[in-house]
Structure 1
Amino acid sequence: MKNGARGARGATIIDVAAAAGVSPMTVSRVINGKSGVAADTRAAVQRAIEALDYTPNVAARSLVTSSELRVGILYSNPSRAFMSEFLTGVFEEASTRGARLILLRGENGHPPPLSAIEELVASGLAGVVVTPPLGEALPVLSILRAAGVPIAAVGAHGVAGATCVRIDDRLAAYEMTRHLLALGHRRLGFILGNPDQAASAERMAGFYAAVREAGGVEVRVAQGDFSYASGLAAGEQLLAADNPPTAIFASNDDMAAAVVSVAHRRHLDVPGELSVAGFDDTTAAVTLWPPLTTIHQPVHRLAAEALARVLGHGEPGDCILDHAIVERQSVAAPRR
């Protein structure tokens, strides 16, 4: 008997997979006549298709059966500057590799609907590139691993079943903190990134490693999530304190730009009365006054390398690219 409720809205490949007790990728293989599916499994899928009156999407099926390299891009990053750099890099690399990108977006750092990810994977992909914070989101990774597609996770640390493409976040934060200390700052503020991302913990660890080495440093920490709005709140918190920091190091440029805005609202001269440093070296670092001293993270290259890795190019294992401190006008020695 056909399921009238599902028929009314149109059964999906996810419904078929659930009814047959298999993965969406297995259903896709049956629909497209591919090998590697046991006869009893194939029969179960066919029964589910008939019971649910499922009609495969013709456009998706034609893509699966073509020779085109299709790569999924999953993103939900609150930093627009980061995503602009990332998308430029991944599109340019796709054009040289002859790949077609299929973008799937989540909102405000949250994953896209899991059913949408399953549908995307089932449509047939050569690989998937995942941007932070989704590269460390277990529900997303579980679907991708079950499908057996190559995964590259940008900015992630130690993700099983994926190639992580990143910089050394801990060393980069350590070096920036050392730079501020070398200028004479002894009251430092630090703004943490998204607590669900390993990169945030690594940057905090680098900051504290430099502080411990120096000794005699007064530290204030505020929580952010890599968004500009969180940087505004964190900046207000740090600068409203008694004896506030003479330098604030934010875990990305968006939050650092927000701190500069808070400083201007409080009539503080940057860098005369407050030094501000960021992380990433995106367009956000150079579209305000003064432009930010920041860590250059090659987001464009990270994106290109991630795409290359899922298509089978490059050495196996994680890929760690170089970083550098970029000195601009937002940092100076503290006033005595």
Structure 2
Amino acid sequence: MSIASPDNARPTIRDVARIAGVSIKTVSRVINDQQYVSADKRERIREVMREIGFQPSHAARALAGHRSHQIALICDNPNPWYVYEIQLGVRERCARDKIRMIAQPYDRASPTLLEDIVALLDQANPDGLVLAPPACDDARVLAELNRRDIPFVRLQPGVRIDDGPAVLIDNERAAFDMTSHLLDLGHRRIGFIVGDRSYAASGQRLAGYIGALGEQAVEIDLDLIRQGQFDVASGEAAADALLSLPNPPTAIFASSDDMAAGVLAAAHRRGVRVPDALSVAGFDDGPTATIVWPSLTTVRQPVRALADAATDMLLSLSESGKPRQRRLKHEVIPRASSASPAG
């Protein structure tokens, strides 16, 4: 039996969306043979069109096919350099296709966070989104985007990585490699400063540190692990605690360059010579790494290239609806802040 539209009126795109159980935007994509619709959903929508006798006019096709030619970037990070590099990577890739980028700050502490993002979607009507940490792991945001059938790519996700398109580095492996570098220099008491707990990368880097110690049969001393917040002040406070131990570490690996700069500040204030008495390592390889003295041994993550790749993936998502994933390479950069332990 055919499915009729209400009151035998001429069926509309809203009728198709309601009966098929999808959004109007998804029906629009099918009408205009656009991307981002899975094969089974596409067939269901076309079947409903046939059942109710929906025939889009040329005007309806033009309206349904409307695109804003802009994408939104949702990001938040205490490091201004990191945010700038992400914005630059997204903007440069958008410019190649004459797409506009809208940057929306993500305040994870805001009680209206989800409402703010919904308002952006309703008012700007972006064709898709790039989600940087920690928005890329926010279940509420992901659920709303999936409900609306809005394409998105996650930049550096830390949970359920295979759930959708994503671009990332292997944070755990990167921290493993840096810890191994310090171990290869001869250090056995290596302090570690964990980043902000709301970022999944913090736990991944901690896991890499622990994994490297375990591989070389070095005992894990919980006193050598301290909590930070990805900023200079928390790095300095954590270093003060580590250097106050009866048996302090000979090396400290902070999981961001800003926290590593705090370690250097604490060491200089205490008269602890770097790298003679203490090796220091960070993570990012932003401007901080070469501004501080001595220059910082660190993990280089290609932030701008990650953002470019995420945007490129968003602009070229296939119709299959299958998740895609791309991993970029990290690199350990040895500099003057690390050396073999004295004695």
TM-score (norm 1): 0.77
Flag the 1:121–1:306 CA change in 2: closer, same or farther, 3 A.
same
Q: For residue 214 of structure 2, what is the aligned residue in structure 1?
A: 212
Q: C-alpha distance in 1, partners of 2:194/2:102?
A: 32
Q: For residue 72 of structure 2, what is the aligned residue in structure 1?
A: 72
Q: C-alpha distance in 2, partners of 1:93/1:208?
A: 37
Q: For residue 138 of structure 1, what is the aligned residue in structure 2?
A: 139
Q: For residue 168 of structure 1, what is the aligned residue in structure 2?
A: 170
Q: For residue 50 of structure 1, what is the aligned residue in structure 2?
A: none
Q: CA deviation at 1:230?
A: 2.2
Q: CA deviation at 1:178?
A: 0.9
Q: For residue 4 of structure 2, what is the aligned residue in structure 1?
A: none
Q: C-alpha distance in 2, partners of 1:185/1:112?
A: 47
One-letter code aligned to 1:318: Q
Flag the 1:254–1:135 CA change in 2: closer, same or farther, 3 A.
same
Q: CA deviation at 1:289?
A: 1.0
Q: CA deviation at 1:165?
A: 1.1
Listed one character per residue, the Cα deviations across residues 285-308 of structure 1 (whole Å, up to 9, x for unaligned) are 112111111111100100001111
Any idea what SS the aligned residue of 1:195 has?
coil
> Tell me, which stretches of 5 or more residues in structure 1 are unaligned?
1-24, 39-63
Q: For residue 269 of structure 1, what is the aligned residue in structure 2?
A: 273
> Tell me, which stretches of 5 or more residues in structure 2 are unaligned?
1-21, 33-44, 49-63
Q: For residue 235 of structure 2, what is the aligned residue in structure 1?
A: 231
Any idea what SS the aligned residue of 2:83 has?
helix
Flag the 1:111–1:150 CA change in 2: closer, same or farther, 3 A.
farther
Q: C-alpha distance in 1, partners of 2:216/2:111?
A: 40
Q: C-alpha distance in 2, partners of 1:321/1:227?
A: 25
Q: C-alpha distance in 1, partners of 2:108/2:270?
A: 29
Q: C-alpha distance in 2, partners of 1:81/1:175?
A: 24
Give the percent of matched residue pairs that are identical in Structure 1 and Structure 2. Answer: 38
1:320 lines up with 2:327 in the alignment: yes
* Structure (1 or 2) with the larger CA radius of gyration: 2
1:292 lines up with 2:292 in the alignment: no
Q: CA deviation at 1:28?
A: 8.7
Superposition map of 1:8-157 within 5 A: 67-107=67-107, 113-122=113-122, 123-157=124-158
One-letter code aligned to 2:337: S
Q: Which residue among 285, 291, 294 is the counterpart of 1:281?
A: 285
Q: CA deviation at 1:162?
A: 3.0
Flag the 1:28–1:120 CA change in 2: closer, same or farther, 3 A.
farther
Q: CA deviation at 1:271?
A: 1.1
Listed one character per residue, the Cα deviations across residues 9-60 of structure 1 (whole Å, up to 9, x for unaligned) are xxxxxxxxxxxxxxxx969999xxx998x9xxxxxxxxxxxxxxxxxxxxxx
Any idea what SS the aligned residue of 1:185 has?
coil
Q: C-alpha distance in 1, partners of 2:109/2:263?
A: 21
Listed one character per residue, the Cα deviations across residues 94-150 of structure 1 (whole Å, up to 9, x for unaligned) are 111211111111347769722120011223111111111111122222222222111
Any idea what SS the aligned residue of 1:286 has?
helix
Q: C-alpha distance in 2, partners of 1:116/1:134?
A: 13
Question: Is the Cα–Cα contact under 8 Å of residues 127 and 310 in structure 1 kept in the other structure?
Answer: yes
TM-score (norm 2): 0.75
Any idea what SS the aligned residue of 1:229 has?
helix
Flag the 1:86–1:237 CA change in 2: closer, same or farther, 3 A.
same
